[in-house]
Chains A and B, each alone.
Chain A
Amino acid sequence: MSHRKIQKRSVADLKVGEKAVIESFSDQWMSLKLLEMGCLPGTEVCLHCKAPLGDPICLNVSGYCLSMRKSEAATILIEQ
């Protein structure tokens, strides 16, 4: 458990309906694509739904719905 506390929470940890504010990205290459799609630090996102096997997930971000894999969502770190 102590290990988990050190790790930052990411969008992949959100529950359906939960909201969070993007803080930073842990993967530079992935961040380019995510930034272009409107996932900017300081933006509020809301986990809108998950695909049947819990992956991919759908995010509400800046007024539209964006789907991505859980592994990709894990690179979006959120403010505590």
Chain B
Amino acid sequence: MGNPNSGKSSLFNQLTGLRQKVGNFPGVTVDKKSGTAFLNETTEISVIDLPGVYSIYPKSVDEQVVTDILANPQHPDYPDVAVVVVDASNLNRNLLLFSQIQDLGVPVIMALNMLDIARQQHLEINAVRLSMQLGVPVVKINARIGEGLELLKVAIEQQIGQPTVSETLFFDPGQQTVLTGHDMKGLIADVRQQYQLTNNYLALQYLIQHDGFSFLGQPQRVKLDGLIEKYQFDEVDFQAKETIGRYKRIGEVVKTVVKDKRPLDQSTWSQRIDRILLHPVWGYAIFATVLLLIFQAIFAWAQPFVDGIDAGVAWLNGTLHEQLPDSPLTDLLTDGIIAGVGGVVVFIPQIAFLFLLVSLLEESGYMSRVMVLMDRIMRQFGLNGRSVVPLISGVACAVPAIMATRSIGSWRERLITILVTPLMSCSARLPIYTILIALVVPEKTVLGFLNLQGVVMMGLYLLGLVAALLAAYAFKLIIKAKERSLFVMELPTYKWPRWNHVGITVWDSVTSFVWQAGRVIVAISIVLWVLASYGPGDALEQAENRVRSQNANLPAEQVENRVASEKLEASYAGRFGKILEPVIKPLGYDWKIGIALISSFAAREVFVGTIATIYSIGSADEGNDNTIREKLAAEINPETGGPMYTPAVAFSLLVFYVFAMMCMSTIATVYRETKGWKWPLIQLAYMSVLAYGSAFLVYQLMK
């Protein structure tokens, strides 16, 4: 544990070798994470990484986790040894938390990190003296490159074997009678006796924080309230006095261990960069450029890779069709599985680019500046500057984005952020956008350097953003504030991205996309193939016979095509799509798109795979070496005789997917984060209405 941005997660990664997301802005670890490490050849320990906090008094849900564990020795995660990571370049503030954890009576080790940055700032720290002053083991580490790990492990081993806890408290609430004018000694003694506590500071936590402690029952809370009443204890006032008292002692300690050789008034690099990046004009211009660059990269730079993979999948499918014997199993493999999976694999380059750029923003420290830049604007919409992180990560995936809202202190701002985040176009929508845009938007260069398809793509993302802000504004009017909004936040110094961390983030995102989306898609592809290849009774044969007898004089190839499509229509999937057709007809969709819509409720990217599967089955083309895009372009609307995917249909679909909440995992995450079905259902309802309404408008206007 430790302050935000002190390097806890880096150390955790170094100790466990487990890959965990590390970023350079507060709130990267929003939940506890655990892994295992080897102390020596025989001893394995379990390591828990907790969210960063500034003190033991939580200000938001993610911070609550730390207090819950440390204040409750019966907690399953209560540590044998607490390793507190301390940022040496900001010793005073880091020691506040350290002294609180130490006073709770947990055996502690201080891992003194970021000494290199302190040195750059001309701070010399005497670790030995610090250790003697505080009475705890202090180990110098460099979590970024893994220095000092062996010494840290030795220290952990010693603390587990023979726990040493400082005899006297850094700040003893029981001795503050003079400070407050109340009988603190008697009050603390009463609490200790009632709850059999051995520690004065823990007793104080019971007094101040009992409403937040889930392990205390209602009668216990009432009892504590009674004690507070009896002694006329003022919690807020005492907490302020505690913080000041601690800082006073910390100041004395720091004076003896730190040699501050900082030249006065010299602005650091970070401050000079801030003047540019937070400049009234340049600040927004740079932010807009950065966003534009991201979209250019996703659409234009990733395209060669996308084309390569697309052609490769089509080739594989065609070759398998030629080489393998004609059987239902071959059809299942090619039309079902490969067509479906191919639709997903194609988007790996774009997702890799997206996560690469977003993680660069996080690593460098620019993300926190964006929060400052946007807070004023976000506030107008009932959001918080911190909502920027969920909204931007929402471009990658709504699930981690919604979890990242835990660092927003006010419940109202957090809830609104959760409700609107899925409107940000996530990477799962990319496949749908890409394929439909490529189908109806010509590949032209506008303004000399911008790809028109890229511009349309950015327009869709902006549409999502604008919708998110408007929806937030609407919710702001509906949802009442329960507590005050807060935006006090540390701005970390700029750092060079650690390329290995960036690499890990990209690799993790891509693999989890392929595995999680891939599994669902394989399953759905198989189910869909079965549903689309078989029908009730002998409906399929009847359809085939009917077509053959009616069209006996047509060329053989056309008959085969018509047979295939009539058979699909008679299958289970076709019937299902037909039932749905009246509902989606006003949006311009036919029953085939209907099947894809329904199956994409599991996850949006399934849409493309489904479409690919349906069109593969629904055509007699034996070679099957067409790419998905070619298959879509070749699809004919039976009513008009023209292409099925007219601009009106394509844009109607695009707008539908910008707004629709087609994602099981997001619904599940919102359920978990809001602890109930009320908000996810409200969210599902408002987004569905929005999606249907706007898709309807788009189609009717463009038709």
Chain A residues in the interface with B (C-beta under 8 A): 28-38, 40-41, 48-53, 55-56, 58, 60, 62-69, 72
Contacts and interface: CB of A to CB of B under 8 A. Distances in A.
Interface residues of B, number: 45
Contacts of B488: 33-34, 37, 66-68, 72
Given A33-B488, A38-B92, A66-B490, A58 B278 contact: yes
Interface in B374-399: 375-377, 379, 385
A28 B237 contact: yes
Contacts, number: 115
B243 interface: yes
B243 A55 contact: no
Contacts of A68: 487-489
Interface in B76-110: 89-90, 92-93, 96
- A48, A50, A64 interface centre (most CB from chain B within 10 Å): A64
B45 interface: no
Given A35-B243, A48-B271, A62 B93 contact: yes
Contacts of B583: none
A36 B54 contact: yes
B59 interface: yes
12 contacts: A31-B240, A38-B247, A40-B243, A49-B274, A50-B278, A62-B92, A64-B90, A65-B270, A65-B274, A67-B491, A68-B487, A68-B488
Nearest to B385: A56
Contacts of B280: 52-53
A37 B385 CA distance: 18
Contacts of A31: 240
A67 B372 contact: yes
Main secondary structure of the interface of B (DSSP, over half): helix
B490 A55 contact: no
Contacts of B275: 49
Nearest to B277: A49
Interface of B: 54-55, 57, 59, 89-90, 92-93, 96, 121, 236-237, 239-240, 243-244, 247, 262, 270-271, 274-275, 278-281, 283-284, 368, 371-373, 375-377, 379, 385, 484, 486-491, 493
Contacts of A64: 89-90, 93, 490-491, 493
For the complex of A and B, 10 pairs with smallest distance between CB atoms: A65-B491, A35-B243, A52-B280, A53-B376, A36-B55, A68-B488, A38-B93, A69-B487, A67-B372, A36-B54
Given A36-B93, A37-B488, A58-B372, 4 more contacts: A35-B243, A51-B376, A56-B385, A65-B490
A52 B369 CA distance: 11
Please indicate which of the listed interface residues A32, A48, A52 has the most CB atoms of chain B within 10 Å of its own CB: A52
Given A38-B93, A52-B373, A65-B271, A58 B240 contact: no
A41 B486 contact: no
A19 B267 CA distance: 14
A36 B92 CA distance: 10
B59 A62 contact: no
Nearest to B90: A64
A34 to B, nearest CB: 6
A29 B283 CA distance: 32
Chain A CB count within 10 A is highest, among B270, B284, B368, B488, for B488
Contacts of A69: 375, 379, 487
Nearest to B235: A32
Contacts of B237: 28
Contacts of B385: 56
A53 B243 CA distance: 33
Contacts of A33: 59, 486, 488
Given A58-B372, A65-B491, A32 B57 contact: yes
Contacts of B379: 69
A55 B92 contact: no
Contacts of A29: 236, 484
A35 B92 CA distance: 12
A21 to B, nearest CB: 15
Contacts of B484: 29
Max count, chain B CB within 10 A of own CB: residue among A37, A49, A56: A56
Nearest to A53: B376
B262 to A, nearest CB: 8
Contacts of B493: 64-65
A76 to B, nearest CB: 10
Nearest to A41: B244
A51 B239 CA distance: 31
Contact of B89 (A49, A55, A63): A63
Nearest to A38: B93
B93 A32 contact: no
Contacts of B236: 28-29, 32
